[in-house]
Amino acid sequence: MPRSGAAGRPRSGAAGGRDGAFLALTGVLLLHGMCAVLSLEINADAHVRGYVGEKIKLKCTFKSSSDVTDKLTIDWTYRPPSSSRTESIFHYQSFQYPTTAGTFRDRISWAGNVYKGDASISISSPTLKDNGTFSCAVKNPPDVHHNIPQTELTITERGFGTMLSSVALLSILVFIPSAVVVVLLLVRMSRRAAGMKKRSKSGYKKKSSIEVSDDTDQDEENECMARLCVRCAECLDSDYEETY
């Protein structure tokens, strides 16, 4: 009996060692998996609103723990409302490859910069049929594990309240103050004209400051001319005396 008990102790110790090694290996794998998941992060706007016929940008940015190389790929997909069908509309790998078929044909353009972590695209001439869900996927080997953000796009017609452009608003802001100034000037001129008319009827006429200034200048000019004539006359007299 003692022998069997002594023999049983090593077996339990070996089992405990194997369990400890298994747990350590599991922890390492989980840690590695977490690092792999967090090595590439992608962000996009959850909701984007646009208007029919006006170019719109779908923003998508990414952060990678690895340097960008020619192996980096970007894929944009589209899913219509109330549908599980997805459609590839844009692919990037060293160059842009927008879709050449479907409803987005010739309307998708590249608006990003991979070296700045930007994977955005633009949609030209959007319509109400473009409403739906857009997904942005980025892979930068060895960073390939990532989240896939989705953007809900809503396209609507512009209402009367939003049709006023910035130019129209600026015109209104400039026109209203100008109109107020003109009205004030007209009121002031009419009041001045009424006052002058009233004074003319009473037989009283008061010279304005401009008229007074003109009269003063004329008097000074006449005085200067008189002095000049007197001086010339004195010169002539002196010359006449010297000749005799």
pLDDT tens per residue, range 85-95? 999 999 999 99
The residues with which 61 forms a beta bridge, in sequence order, are: 43, 118
Helix (H, G, I), strand (E, B) or coil at 120: coil
- What's the token pair of residue 109? 């353009």
DSSP β-ladder status, 60-64 and 73-79: unpaired
State yes or no: pLDDT of 80 exceeds 90.
yes
Global pTM?
0.54
**pLDDT grade, residue 31 (50/70/90)?**
very low
State yes or no: pLDDT of 40 exceeds 60.
yes
Contact 117, 63 (CB under 8 A): yes
Query: What is the Cα–Cα distance from 116 to 59, expressed in whole angstroms?
Result: 13
Query: What is the structure's pLDDT at 97?
Result: 96
- Mean local confidence (pLDDT), 118-134: 97
State yes or no: pLDDT of 131 exceeds 60.
yes
State yes or no: pLDDT of 33 exceeds 50.
no
pLDDT above 70 as % of the chain? 60
State yes or no: pLDDT of 124 exceeds 70.
yes
State yes or no: pLDDT of 196 exceeds 80.
no
Query: What is the structure's pLDDT at 195?
Result: 72
Lowest mean pLDDT among 50-59, 88-97, 207-216, 229-238: 207-216
Query: What is the Cα–Cα distance from 212 to 218, expressed in whole angstroms?
Result: 10
Query: What is the Cα–Cα distance from 121 to 137, expressed in whole angstroms?
Result: 12
Q: Is the peptide bond before 141 cis (omega within 30 degrees of 0)?
A: no
Query: What is the Cα–Cα distance from 230 to 45, expressed in whole angstroms?
Result: 95
State yes or no: pLDDT of 206 exceeds 80.
no
- Mean local confidence (pLDDT), 160-171: 58
